[in-house]
Structure 1
Amino acid sequence: MKKSNTIYFLFIFFLTYSLGVVLRLWELPLWNAPHLHVSGEPIMATHDAYAWLAGAIGTGNHYNAPMSTILSLLHNITGINVATINFWLPVIVAPLVCLPIIFICQLFGIIEASLVAGTIASLGTGYFLRTRMGYGDTDILTIFLPLAYCAGLIYWLKPFINNWRRKDYEFTLILKQHLLKGSIFTGFILLFYNWFYPNAYPIVMYTYIFTIFLSFLLTPKKIFINLLPGFIIILIIGFGELIGLLLASIFVYLTYTETNNNKKTLFNLVFLSCALGLLFYHKHWGAILSLIDPILNYAKIFPFLEVKKYSIKLPQVLASIREAQNVSLTMLIQRVGQNPYIFFPGLIGFVLACTRFPLLLIFLPQLGLSILSFKLGNRFTMYGPPIIGLGLSLGLTFILEKIKIKPLILYLLLTCFVIYPTINLVKILKPTPVLPQVYAKSFLEIDKIANPKAQLWQWWDYGYAAQYYAKRKSFGDGGRHNGPYLYPLALAHTTSSPLQAAQIIKFTAQDQQEQITEMQQNGTNPSNPGAKILYWPIDPVRKLNLMGATKAQTFIDSLKEKTLNFSANIPEQYFVLSWENLNLSYWISYFGNWNLITGQGVHGGFKRLKGKIDLNLSKGLVSFSGKTLPMIKLLIIKKDGTSIEKSWLHSKGLYIIYNEYLPQVIAMDKTIYNSMMVQMLLNNPNKFKPHFTLVLDKFPWVRVYKVN
């Protein structure tokens, strides 16, 4: 790269990167509020951020995970606590997404276009909202890495695919060196991508397979045959780790020093077999199923292929997770393209740009993933902005050919236009800590109360935070929230019987302990070897599953009345109730009222009342939104830390909680009001003896009980 080109590259990078940083810093003054910090550390803005924090200090299930390793390394280098590092990491790292975009635009000879494309990639709503301050999750690199991977593929293939016309080449020494250098470069990008974010395997392979097809379509047979060793090198390095690097070295030497075509073909077959073998070694049958399952699930083809692991029917958590929920067309346009004036021109521009730069089609799997977010879920919208940005900016080349305005000026003006929606967005954004300060402090106090081997039963959303602050094992977290964990956890929260709540916790904990003992004896490794707190691959509902659905449901129902005897070797179990759970009670009650035979749950009724609200205590009526309804019970939580409960003899009506602290009025039905998540949090703690003992009371926000 010439010196002038380098300066140009750095100028554009500085501008686009700075825009990404500055707009992410916009809400910094709001984060200075004392209630957004605990023990000198900022509270994270996403639950998963605590997974890596707990992993970094060795108390979570994600010990030695890439993100945890990076945080631990940065802490050791800088001495800054991991929470502060993870709070700032999105601001520093996420805007780097512009770098591969600039590189791609430079490869196509239109580096000025990266001003717009890089800015949209960094500030696209779907990506920006997931990489703000405090959002220290893998998202900070999960767009950069696929873009870098595609940039590597484009860099490698561009000398051979310039347009839609097949063009033969004489393989000069320079082209042979590029074939080797480009594939190795791309292989190392893929190696890091697979290490950092292995869940991206499907999109990695769809892109890889589609690129092979594109190369076959757009290159003469002779060229395509010479590209095949490069594809093998990418696969070997990308999935082979240390063994792959050794095999790739041997393969490079044999392939590029051998002149006999028959031997080259043999080497290709042998090392392709090695590459596929390494792929299956790391992924097992997931190497194939991970590519097929998404298609079958989306198309709902062959439902009978689903293997039922359990005799009991367990709930699925996916419907309750916000980021997995479907998005509307309006939201899709906003998240992917900021507004219709960017989204639709970006799509049209992408089509036009592909007519001139066919290698842009490599991005089709990512574009498809973002467009299908209306079905796949909100989080996938973040894959779209870079492609819309490339389409909008590179598509402008057709306009630039017709007018005489200087490209840089035009792209600068367009950059001002595309950052306008983000500026409007950041003006209304506020810090969004995932748990209140009092909840975080409660976990810190549990660290002083609980036995080091204790287990916490808080709702799974806060499992990672519990692992970080309390430094204790948690039952359920963001990675262990499927049916086997979800059902017993929700049941303990939803039941109106303290006995049943205590017994399902102890029953599950005893089964856990028995499985752990068995694993220790048969040599099974924990999920996080080397951590301070070990997690084992247990099945929380193993005993229920062995009973069969009918007997299991009968057994669960019997826990309300029949007292069981449990082993004295069960570690301490703590039940953590919080005000935050009430906002989730619609789903918690659904999972907790689950029938193991029919596979169906029943939602409890819950609503936060807004606007003008009138409570008529003499008649037991509540008026809101132009209607008046009877109350059965009213619980008033007063600012002095006391509470008052009133009842009326209505045959039907609402259960109302009025919290003077907030102030807030919430309405619910009998199921939720009588549940343990409400009663143990807000009622007299002595009512739950002898099954539970209150050990920490921060009424009305948090209460922690030890299971007796």
Structure 2
Amino acid sequence: MNQDLRDKKSTYVITSLIVLAFAFSFCVRLIWVYQFSDYESFKFAGQFMINTNDGYFWAEGARDLLYGISQKHALSPVNEAASWLTYLAVKLFPFSLETTIFYMPSLLGSLIVVPIILIAHHFKMIEMGFLAALLASIAVSYYNRTMIGYYDTDMLNIVFPTFLLWSLILALRTKEEKYLLITALEIIVYRWWYPQSYSLEFSYFGLILAYALIFDRKNIFHFKLLTIMLFAMMGLPSLVRFVIVLGVYISFKKKYGDKYIGYFLVLAIGLFFLTGGFAPIWGQLKGYVFKDTIELSTDVLPLHFFSVMQTVREAGQIDFITFAERISGHTITFILSLIGYVLMVKKYPAMLLGLPLLGLGFLALWGGLRFTIYAVPVCALGMAYLLFICSAYITGVFINERLGGLVKSSFVILSSLGVLYPNLLHVIDYRVPTVMNKTEVEQLDSLRNIAGRDDYIVAWWDYGYPLRYYADTKTLIDGGKHSGDVNFPVSFMLTNDQESAAKLARLEVEYTEKAFITAEENETKAKEQQSKIINNTAQMTLDYGFKDANDFLDALQTPLSLPAKTREIYFYLPYRMMSIFPTVAQFSSMDLMSGKMTRQPFFFQTSQFKDTGSLLNFSGGVVLDKAKGMLKIGNQEVPVKNFIQTAYTPEFKLIKEQTIIHPDGLFSIIYMQAYNTFLILDEAMFHSSYIQLFVLENYDERFFEPISLEAYAKVYRLKI
């Protein structure tokens, strides 16, 4: 067989395996669709909704691009890669925006099979690559973040660095100059897609630099690779870096740069540091590894705020078993994959370039489970390599070639199924609901017809993106804007009395808009101002003549001159926030001046209770003595002030019955019959805006008017 025929056959085999692996990955993700095909509550306007909050951020940008919407001071990501790619997909293909954002993650995420099979093909182990591709495509953490409906940047966040791993391996092993350009272009595209890619890019760079200096210092190709990588990694616009990289590549191609490679490298290093350098890398490490409980603002009036990183599950530490299962499906599989990776590195030293991906995966043990996804492709390759080493050993054991081949095939098939099984089982069991249900979205869709695009909705940051997408209004906080200083006022509004909440809402919205206008009118002046005062709470405190932010907050309950009303403000209070309400309260339970927690609000929610006649056992060591009206919490007994029962009429009108047990009681008990849920609250939580407005519909007519009172969520409009 001549070379051309062999190349054609090889191309056919590679293409066929890629198509099969891609189809497997995509079809496995369709299991979710099959499971929930009859769940109308997961659909809006006849189409499935997505199942990740952050996805609505990119969807908002794509929507605004499609409809040519331009709004002043909006946070819509109309310039972001995910929004643009979605916009182009909707324009090029005959599918709606909703269908596109629902299926796009499963299609783009399945592309992980391509670089994995290409890497294995380069090592002349194509069957190994096929198994590795199958495993990586459905590994627990990778599936979770690229499943149907998980519309987020994760759908390509591992695909790009795995392609980068492929091109760097081939660059080092073949020394072909085309891989200089391919590598640089991959870095540019990866950065365009995911601006936080600095750390991984720099890790690859560091490994290649170490290899060049230690093992092959005289080979000019390595320094060409390092140089073009640095030019691609600069903190300049993508188009500028593309032009520079193209020029550098042409120079290298024509051998113009060989003589001056040292100067090129020094120039690249200098520009790298001048345009950003380590700043973004340090920022990521600081956020996920060196987490602080308290954030200290750098204002003229220094204030302390509770850090959101302490409440984000994906940024929390995880145990080893969870860590291993998320990467490989099972702890044993994970350990075997590491053994396989070590053996693969021994055979093919270029696979050391997989260490940055593996290292980021291991960062999950300290920085949170979101990092496990990075180790998936490397571990999948390691596991597959180990299986095929074992299969080759089995073949050599048998004298009878036919019998050996049969045993080998049986071993490969059974062991492959064994490796894939726990991951497939996870896919079947992982029944993630959509972010919002049909009733909630219909309510927001109705609100969109009432509220203007410049109006604000006050809600916790978890609901910011969906609110902006469906209600098409502004929000104060969202999935990307939720640092302690911006979370504080919203937490304060939800967990304090209605008068304080209403006044702070008007102040926060008007100050937020004023900051936008100031920055627009005079950018230099705005930067100077931000260096002195960078958060609204500090600015308000000083503007109203206070030196202590706590005194200013207390003054919200007194007559206070408020800014002129420029737009409407709505409060969105969903039932689903009930479970995180104690967490919401943490952000405003702090002395802003000292950073010490000033209160420990008592909020207990349970649907696990037992009525024994004289006692009402709420579980968790909380028991109500009905006759005495005393609540036993552990070893402590406290008097109950109110016992309230709420329910809904057939017309969905809230009715409530209230009994005062002890006028001087410290706690209130609310039985929400429609939800089969008990709430036990201290006085501060009982009088909070969220409980009064959502649970009891006791709105102060001076400050609020109801717009939509549904069981799932309630919307009020601010009257001041």
Query: Which of these residues, 672, 685, 704, is aligned with residue 685 of structure 2?
Result: 672
1:104/1:652 CA distance change after superposition, 3 Å: farther
Q: CA deviation at 1:155?
A: 1.3
Q: Is residue 15 from structure 1 mapped to residue 20 from structure 2 by the alignment?
A: yes
SS in 1 for 2:118: helix
Q: Is residue 53 from structure 1 mapped to residue 62 from structure 2 by the alignment?
A: no
Q: Which residue of 1 aligns with 2:67?
A: none
Cα-to-partner distance string for 1:61-88 (whole Å, 9 max, x where unaligned) = 3122111111111122235332221111
Q: Which residue of 2 aligns with 1:683?
A: 696
Q: Distance in 1 between matches of 2:60 and 2:388?
A: 49
Q: Distance in 1 between matches of 2:623 and 2:579?
A: 23
1:151/1:707 CA distance change after superposition, 3 Å: farther
1:73/1:403 CA distance change after superposition, 3 Å: same
Q: Which residue of 1 aligns with 2:212?
A: 215
Residue identity in the other structure for 2:195 = P
Q: Which residue of 1 aligns with 2:241?
A: 244
Query: Which of these residues, 579, 589, 596, is aligned with residue 592 of structure 2?
Result: 596
1:299/1:435 CA distance change after superposition, 3 Å: closer
Q: Which residue of 2 aligns with 1:532?
A: none
Query: Which of these residues, 664, 672, 676, is aligned with residue 663 of structure 1?
Result: 676
1:336/1:544 CA distance change after superposition, 3 Å: farther
Residue identity in the other structure for 2:159 = F
Q: CA deviation at 1:41?
A: 3.5
Q: Which residue of 1 aligns with 2:198?
A: 201
Cα-to-partner distance string for 1:240-263 (whole Å, 9 max, x where unaligned) = 63333333343334444447xxx7
SS in 1 for 2:642: strand
- Is this contact kept in 2: 1:90–1:133, CA < 8 A? yes
Q: CA deviation at 1:622?
A: 4.2
Q: Which residue of 1 aligns with 2:90?
A: 75
Q: Which residue of 2 aligns with 1:342?
A: 333
Q: CA deviation at 1:471?
A: 0.9
Q: Which residue of 1 aligns with 2:279?
A: 289
Q: Which residue of 1 aligns with 2:637?
A: none
SS in 2 for 1:445: helix
- Is this contact kept in 1: 2:296–2:305, CA < 8 A? no
1:294/1:572 CA distance change after superposition, 3 Å: closer
Give the structure-1-normalised TM-score.
0.87
Q: CA deviation at 1:271?
A: 5.8
1:652/1:427 CA distance change after superposition, 3 Å: farther
- Is this contact kept in 1: 2:295–2:305, CA < 8 A? no
1:142/1:250 CA distance change after superposition, 3 Å: closer
Q: Distance in 1 between matches of 2:294 and 2:339?
A: 40
Q: CA deviation at 1:30?
A: 3.3
Q: Which residue of 2 aligns with 1:444?
A: 445
The more displaced of 106-115 and 25-34 is 25-34
Query: Which of these residues, 300, 304, 313, is aligned with residue 322 of structure 1?
Result: 313
1:683/1:571 CA distance change after superposition, 3 Å: same
Q: CA deviation at 1:649?
A: 3.1
Q: Is residue 128 from structure 1 mapped to residue 143 from structure 2 by the alignment?
A: yes
Q: Determine what percentage of the aligned residue pairs are the same residue.
A: 22
1:477/1:627 CA distance change after superposition, 3 Å: closer
1:472/1:16 CA distance change after superposition, 3 Å: same
Query: Which of these residues, 623, 632, 642, is aligned with residue 628 of structure 1?
Result: 623
Q: Which residue of 1 aligns with 2:121?
A: 106
Q: CA deviation at 1:11?
A: 3.0
Residue identity in the other structure for 1:191 = I
Q: Is residue 313 from structure 1 mapped to residue 310 from structure 2 by the alignment?
A: no
Following superposition of structure 1 onto structure 2, how do residues 127-206 of structure 1 map, counting pairs within 5 Å? Answer: 127-159=142-174, 178=176, 180-206=177-203
SS in 2 for 1:636: strand
- Is this contact kept in 2: 1:512–1:538, CA < 8 A? no
Q: CA deviation at 1:306?
A: 9.2
Q: Which residue of 1 aligns with 2:69?
A: none
Q: Distance in 2 between matches of 1:185 and 1:643?
A: 67
Q: Distance in 1 between matches of 2:453 and 2:250?
A: 55
Give the structure-2-normalised TM-score.
0.85
Q: CA deviation at 1:570?
A: 2.7
SS in 2 for 1:327: coil
Q: CA deviation at 1:628?
A: 2.6
The more displaced of 242-251 and 357-366 is 242-251
Q: Which residue of 1 aligns with 2:224?
A: 229
Query: Which of these residues, 83, 94, 101, is aligned with residue 86 of structure 1?
Result: 101
1:423/1:652 CA distance change after superposition, 3 Å: farther
The more displaced of 194-203 and 507-516 is 507-516
1:419/1:633 CA distance change after superposition, 3 Å: farther
Ranked by relative contact order (alpha carbons within 8 Å, sequence separation 6 or more), the top structure is: 1
Q: Distance in 2 between matches of 1:373 and 1:91?
A: 24
Q: Which residue of 2 aligns with 1:541?
A: 537
1:359/1:673 CA distance change after superposition, 3 Å: farther
SS in 2 for 1:584: helix
Q: CA deviation at 1:13?
A: 1.7
The more displaced of 248-257 and 357-366 is 248-257
Q: Distance in 1 between matches of 2:552 and 2:426?
A: 52
Cα-to-partner distance string for 1:536-589 (whole Å, 9 max, x where unaligned) = x984435147579951111011112x1222232432211111111111101111
Q: Which residue of 2 aligns with 1:511?
A: 511
Q: Distance in 1 between matches of 2:391 and 2:670?
A: 63
Q: Distance in 1 between matches of 2:29 and 2:680?
A: 37
Q: Which residue of 1 aligns with 2:29?
A: 24
- Is this contact kept in 1: 2:208–2:222, CA < 8 A? no
Q: CA deviation at 1:656?
A: 3.6
Q: Distance in 2 between matches of 1:307 and 1:626?
A: 40
1:6/1:558 CA distance change after superposition, 3 Å: same
Residue identity in the other structure for 1:573 = I
Q: Distance in 1 between matches of 2:233 and 2:620?
A: 59
Q: CA deviation at 1:605?
A: 3.3
- Is this contact kept in 2: 1:654–1:669, CA < 8 A? yes
